[in-house]
Amino acid sequence: MSDKKNRKSKKKDSMAREIWEYVKLILIVVVVMTLLQKFVIINAEIPSESMEDNIMVGDRIFGNRLSYKKADPQRFDVVIFKFPDDEKQYFIKRVIGLPGETVDVIEGKIFIDGADAPLDDSFCKEEPLGIKDGHFEVPADSYFMLGDNRNRSRDSRFWNNPYVAKDKILAKASVRYWPLNRISLIQ
């Protein structure tokens, strides 16, 4: 009888150890994923058509939080940032104006620092129509952002606070991972 109890006890101990191993594994995965999400990557779903045709509504992307730890954002980088008018919201747009530059939007064309030729924005979905003109002087620690689909983008041209401070830029958009048939690097 005691032999039978011993086997049952060993079986229970073995099962408890196996369950504990699974629990440890799950905890490790949760901790690692939480740390990755907090310090290395950001996961975002695109809610609007402001970045079409490059990034479509419903696309899921990863952003690299480490991209700007040792380097500054560059013109044409696609970045994820805290919306200046409501920092609880995250936006994704393209960097157009760099710190200290002037940006003039004239009849849908972008001119940097009074240049004679407009900025090459051939990545834009369509010719901007009825676009809001304006003159913007980008502060030393900030950036001017535009969507690629300028006719449908609520961007720096329209915000109450038109500039994004460098410390509010969370990540450089890096990889589209959903939908599966459109997996690609973000350009």
Contact 175, 61 (CB under 8 A): yes
Please give the Cα distance from 44 to 62 (Å, whole number).
6
Share of the chain above pLDDT 90, in %: 45
Q: What is the pLDDT of residue 7?
A: 66
Average pLDDT, integer, range 67-95: 93
Please give the Cα distance from 58 to 15 (Å, whole number).
43
Domain ranges within the chain, ordered by starting residue: 1-39, 43-179
DSSP for 98-149 reads PTT-EEEEETTEEEETT-SSPP--TTSSS---SPPPEEEE--TTEEEEE-SS
Output the six-digit token pair for 72: 């500054």
From the centroid of its chain, how far is CA 162? Answer: 18
Domain 43-179 has CATH 2.102.10.10: no
Which residues are catalytically annotated?
50, 93
* Per-residue pLDDT tens over the stretch 153-167: 888 888 999 999 999
Q: Give the pLDDT band (50/70/90) at residue 137.
A: very high
pTM: 0.80
Q: What is the pLDDT of residue 184?
A: 86
